[in-house]
Chains A and B, each alone.
Chain A
């Protein structure tokens, strides 16, 4: 230590340090003053940089709103989870050039629907290369890449993206939402907050737009990413380098619990997962991992993923009651988009979430524009959101398929009928010299032994046809 230490030593004090309070009194004038409590302001804050949030931020920024997009993960998509497929129609309008740089894994050209029993599978396959083109196109994707790409589009349009921040609460003033709160001394003010937090949104509840989630309102989604060489996928599934396949599984996939399985081909991996009613899981005391393991080990699934390595495992809640569990979609200074609003359609043969999320984000941007023109972000002005959702058929589709979840909730569909179909198939295709029956007789016989009254079966059939 130098002469400075000696000087410091000479000025050493015997007194103990005093209260912090006289610090303020005595010394403030000595320091150059920094700026106190800076409160940042934006026209709109979007919470969550998933597909719904980025679509909202992109639309808002284009319409001249100063827009803040806040994401909890280290980067957009880091915490994102979905089945694996995206229907592309909302891009036709939002980003007509989307296909140029969008991180597409494969374009889906083949749809498969399969019923599983313990060891057998009965499937239908729809092969149409035309599906890869035009407005009806769909593709497989990985969220880490897709969300990062989409959030970049919002940034390019002028939105400010901040990551690694979890919004804790909404800032309220005079009974209306006025911004977001991260910590007691860390809030940002805005005229409008768009909640795009996903299925487990706490802000929707804190905004008073919805009560807590009930077990019957949600399913549990799990997904494994199974790595396979691109060439293996192409050969095994009969696809070209850019083509992909989608599979939906019913029956033993979910061990007879209400729900189903899915498989999507990515470029060099396969997304394999399940969506199972959380109510059934807890009632039957079954662990979701157990269901997933059995599903993965099913011969029909093994045939497709053989030799692959599970490199990622993820799980998430899935809103399940469609239009039945929607929160109020708007309030004073607040809108709800995407999964946070329950925008998810599962009609038994298609699972839709990301397309509805994007469309709702766009509709939120349009609603904000309309509200601005009408004089401000009041609940009355923002109610226009519903009109813009309908224009994109988001609410319309949700309402149309509202009965589907209820119908899907009939266990017969996941347990009794798949088994029945399988028995019929087995008897149809078995030639063992024991004497062949006519198809009609087989069906009647199987229906009788399934133990479901014929009238009930007919009703199920009619109800199913109507809801799907």
Chain B
């Protein structure tokens, strides 16, 4: 974190693909394996993100676009969703938009639904499996209390459940394609036609008043030993006494 602006530091930090986004990428690549689709990777951030975008191409994406501009610095999820949706429209020709369910740094999960809003396309969040059936997207949505199957028309947007698959390693062929060059495109706000008055720190409604490190309370830590049946009985009694569970 930047102690002055209370925003995330993105420069000078080693670039890594946001883990839920890696799951979304893997989901896209599996669709490509099955259907022969074109996969375009889009990100917004400083040019140090190139390393991650190159990795995405080396894993099997066809090409990638980085929206990079100093005026985007400090943008929260509102300008980010706006800027990305403008960029998606410039790329054009999409059937399915996949996002990670959230980032592991700010964990808001706003951007995917925000993009769907700007583009006015249907969305399915927390998808852990996606099938294309009868020209429609059918997705298994992992909710807190179970699994739901949803179906919607294309184009649409799905945010992908963190950890639902194992992202593949880059291939030799992919790494050669990266070396041959030309697969990571940089666009500025002007290139895309993004309104400078709608992006950046000052056009972000989020106000980070204070950032604290949460200290975990100390735990009493009790070990119930002895015969399994006896120790389980003691554990249950203790949980009931502490009102963790009902009697």
Contact = CB atoms under 8 A, between A and B. Distances in A.
A4 B153 CA distance: 12
A4 B132 contact: no
A34 B125 contact: no
Contact of A162 (B32, B39, B172): B172
Interface stretch (B113-121, B197-205, B236-244): B113-121
A9 B151 CA distance: 8
Interface stretch (B6-14, B42-50, B175-183): B175-183
A4 B37 contact: no
A24 B93 CA distance: 20
Contact of B95 (A20, A31, A182, A187): A31
Chain B interface residue bracket vs A = 35 or more
Given A7-B152, A31-B38, A32-B37, A23 B133 contact: yes
Query: DSSP majority for the B interface?
Result: mixed
B138 A160 contact: no
Interface stretch (A10-18, A195-203, A442-450): A10-18
Interface stretch (A35-43, A96-104, A396-404): A35-43
Contacts of B95: 30-32
A7 B152 CA distance: 8
A24 B35 contact: yes
A11 B152 contact: yes
Interface residues of A, number: 45
A20 B177 CA distance: 29
Interface in A307-350: none
B17 interface: no
Contacts of A161: 179
B228 interface: no
A459 to B, nearest CB: 55
B93 A32 contact: yes
Contacts of A434: none
A294 to B, nearest CB: 42
Contacts of B148: 12
A462 interface: no
A32 B125 CA distance: 24
A36 B32 CA distance: 9
Contact of A22 (B36, B37, B133, B177): B133
B26 to A, nearest CB: 15
The residue in A1, A7, A30, A31 that gathers the most chain B C-beta atoms within 10 A of its C-beta is A31
A68 interface: yes
A27 B32 CA distance: 12
Interface in B10-60: 32, 34-39
Interface string B169-208: 0111111110110000000000000000000000000000
B122 A188 contact: no
B35 A31 contact: yes
A16 B37 CA distance: 24
Contacts of A16: 149
B131 A1 contact: no
B151 A13 contact: yes
A160 B138 CA distance: 42
Contact of B171 (A4, A30, A183): A183
Given A160-B179, A162-B179, A26 B135 contact: yes
A290 interface: no
Given A17-B129, A32-B38, 9 more contacts: A13-B151, A18-B133, A24-B34, A26-B132, A27-B134, A32-B37, A33-B38, A38-B173, A39-B173
Interface of A: 1-2, 4-5, 7-9, 11-13, 16-18, 20, 22-24, 26-28, 30-36, 38-40, 68, 70, 160-162, 164-165, 167, 180, 182-183, 185-188
